[in-house]
Structure 1
Amino acid sequence: MTAAFDIAIVGSGPAGLSAAARAAELGISHVLLEKTDHLSDTIYRYQKGKHVMATPSQLVLRSDMDFEAGKREKVLGTWDTQAAGRKINVKLNAEVKAIAGDRGDFTLTLTNGEAIKAGSVILAIGTQGNPNKMRCEGGDLPHIQYQLDDPGEYVDEHITVIGSGDAGIENALGLAADPEQGNVVTILNRGTDFARAKGANVKLLMEARDGGRINVMTETTPSKVEPGWLVLDTRDGEQRIRCDRIIARMGSAAPRAFVEGCGIEFTSEDREAFPKLSPSFESTEPGIYVIGALAGYPLIKHCMNQGYDVVEFINGNRELKPADEPILEAKFRGLPGRRPVDEWLEFLRANVTILNELSPLQMREFMLDSEVRYYPAGTVVFERNEPGSSLFTIADGSVLVEVNPKDPSITVPIGKGSIFGEVGLISGRRRGATIRTAEDSILVEVSRTAALKLMATVPAAKRAITRISTERQLLQMFGSGLTADDLAEVLETAEIKRVRAGEAIITEGEEGYDIYVIRQGSMVVEKSIGGKPVFLSYLPAGSYVGEMALIDGGRRTATVRAAIKSEVIKLDGDAFRRLLAKKPQLKIKAETDMASRKALTSFVESKKDGFEGVVDMYSSVANFLVENGIGEATDVLLIDENLCVGCDNCEKACADSHEGLSRLNREAGKTYAHLHVPTSCRHCEHPHCMADCPPNAIHRGPDGEVFIDDSCIGCGNCQRNCPYGVIRMDKVPPKKPNLLAWLIAGLGPGPGEPPKKWTEARVSPETPKKAIKCDMCAGISGGPACVRACPTGAAIRVAPEQFLSVARLGE
């Protein structure tokens, strides 16, 4: 005889368990189906002793089951006890393989052949059973695992954790918790930010890194898995490390075949897309509801609230509002018109392109981390050169970009549905233009953390942001009166490619005429002269290459390779050729750029006989500079050792210009031939120091300088993240007597940085340290003090693209 219930709940995780508890409390006939022999398999499979968090803290828990932060074992024990006490009808070892029927008459078929009838079905199955797998060479080797049950089982192993979300961080922390186990633990993050993880977990990871317990590698991905070894693609090129075991925690995706087999549609074809759901959790198959991680809400408290709410909805409670309703009501209170939260959420989702594919549930979570505001016409949203890394979306109205700082009347419009502020988001630079509203507008400001999380979890949002930023980069770079419509065909062919340090995107002598735009990082151009590669030039982000073969025909005339780990936009040569044919001004610009590069090549070839030694020397020096980080610099201090007399005036002037603390170390750093690279900030294109600054105290100034503002809390993350050792943590000494007082009366320690003994006698032991680095003497008349103070002209500050060109040999 087939069992029949009002509600069948599939999956006994936090969401399903909470739903079953609400049904039991209301006296609704129900069954909770769990495929394993225990409740809440997702929590059960957490590593032993794992601390389970109860976030977000501002969200009220609405469930008949208790939950508070604590050890995995305590949480599971509480739920087991309460499930029995509340008489939840649990059926274990009951795996559902199919669901058929209609609202009021569903049939759930189990793998053992048993059938269960139900009026409504709640899917709370999560996604953990469908992990994202490694796809590199060797990704199927037996020492790769996608789950960690007990960190204590592993002793004296080199273990690499791949994945920088909460699961990966917690696994790494567990494996490194007991030093006596002797594990060498490394965690890989393909980006610089830990956008998917909770702040508390990131803090614990950084503490473990600082304590030497975990090796944290950012901007790193696995390239090849070998028995006992792992080959990595890092920002500085390929690296091979010892690796006995890989714990891959790279996220998971919905069991799509099963869910779609139930008649449920997804928001898109992306592997990581979620089912289409109504605000009451009902799917496109009437009578089947989806909650929990499968709905896009992985946090336990969210899941438990959904379990409670969905049963109330099924039971006919149409007045119930989600637990986060008061928080969202407060956010929407200042907007024009009176709309309920659900209508505002749908308004924002429908009108903003990057939010189009979010479900109502995802929209709620997204808005908890964002701010929405009404701006009357003519309101300045932000000013040119303001610090800021948030992203803005236009839900209604439009804005004007003041492209000419000398003439605010020259503007470019950005319409409803689009975004602005992406430069600050991607590069951390100050705002590049003043933006004001062209009409009454509703804008959503998305924090950098929320934007990165959105891009990491919603593929469609990432594609939209990438397309818009690519379009704007091309328009800015090519100019020539181009419009977005002109670029439509070229953008359709655009492909974002990551390039390893040292990898060539163009090889001399090969066929091909695609165009490459450098999106991030930098490239070096080399030509084979006399059988040896000769360094021709350096190309920073914002440059493009490949036009010579496209315009002239023939094979590639030089090799272009990445100076550091970079990103390029590959544009189809045929589409670009058609664009050149339609836009004569663009063709003239391309031909001018090509002529300049041809002249450089001709210059080198003309010097290959009598000037070969000089060319070889320059090529060696240029390669040395690139290998020492100049490839990602925007401004670098160099010292000509042939001219330097060791007076240290540069350091003294730096200290006197910056509260008595020098920002450079002249003697430190590397030297090749007569060229010395001292320890001083390179003001990187994508500063590593910005990646993990809790108060967002690090910004890029109007002239490209990377500086630290007064909100610095002295955590030291920037110092640890800088690969060049140019940031120091120190206490700011008291103000010294002026130079005249020192000369006449002998007051104070004199020019330069004061001796430690003088400082320590005047600074309290409790005085906090703060991060100190070169700011290019921003705001100081005359420019960098180190250069102005050099009596022989040995110290120079240069942009790499100006210095790294063999054409300088002819100057």
Structure 2
Amino acid sequence: MSSPYLALYIGGAALAIGLHLALRHRRERGNAQAREEAAAAGLNEPASLHPVVSDSRCIGSGGCVTACPEGALGIVNGKATLINASACIGHGACADACPVTAITLVFGTERRGVDIPRVSPQFESNVPGLFIAGELGGMGLIRKAATQGVQAIESVRRRKAGPDELDVLIVGAGPAGIAAGLAAHERQLRYCLIEQEDSLGGAVYHYPRAKIAMTAPVHLPLVGKVQMTEVSKEKLLDFWQDVVGRTGLRLHFRERMERIERVGEGFVVHTSAGVHRARSVLLAIGRRGSPRKLGVPGEERPKVVYRLVDAEQYRGQHVLVVGGGDSALEAALQLAEQPGTTVQLSYRGASFNRVKPKNRQALEVSYRKGRLELLLETEVLAIHESEVELKGPEGLLSRRNEAVIVCAGGVLPIPLLQQMGIEFETKYGQA
């Protein structure tokens, strides 16, 4: 190669490398800033299962960043790191994508512990006959949660039920619960699957729209191998619904477990719909628990819900959103985009502190444009058929209302389970 062409080649290569390094440096600087903003907003603590990256092993390939649709991970100083820990939902796709196994999935942090129930290798708790599988037991991975549900049923089969009781009552219709129900159905056990909400999927149902929800194949009883290495939340939920329809899975929606009593060798389970007697109980519930309620008159009205599923269904209505977290702000912002919808956002605090900066900024823009009304330092007093009453710094308020969406978080089931005698251990950044 002649010297002019060699110089041109070297110059082009140097330019390409320089441009790549400049772009990478800019991305890393943005990631570092995002991490600082998340820490300032109090969003740097993961909710449950999350990745810890080994600096000595990480090569900065970025595979984990690409595999994380929530944007929880980023490259800073050439290494992968959590830049928004609160966005992590524990599906573990990052660990699967790492080419050098530099990521370990753990529970809790050095400052904030996470309570995990003690279970045997057969997923039986310290209370004989009471089994735990899936997210409650710390397994957020869909494939492994489903596998745990099936394995727990194999243990249930060894406990012989009496003539007037179920072999197993399964609580929760997430991946672990559905898989367990399919296994019980296949084994011709007497079973019932109850779900406190009106939808399948458990925690998957609450994932962001179009989020990638499964990262590895899974084998399901009565169905076989499910080869969905990357599928959106919506497609996965449609798949679960189709499975229930094809198999005849015995499933009761809107039935909430309230307490469990030990009676003889089995259990009496009290729910919002009645009583079940079962020799074994499999808890396949999530860690979010039941929605935290306001405890005010009128909250039992059908117009009160605890999550926003589809903003379009509220088009042209007067809607009150209650809460001060990201879910409340995002719900209010989506509703404010609907034609003819009047939106109020009620929060007991004077400002929104623990929220993502982009949500806070979007809220300010929407408020300035008159798309929604902010009711800070207010509390709901009563919910009537066509209006709501609130109390604020200047006294009582009344607003016309056709729907109320409460985004106040969930009540963790841990105290209820401890009353049943289930033992927990607190993990501080441990697998």
**Smaller-chain TM-score range?**
0.3 to 0.5
Larger radius of gyration: 1
TM-score normalised per structure 1: 0.25
Which structure carries more relative contact order (alpha carbon 8 Å, separation 6+)?
2
TM-score normalised per structure 2: 0.41
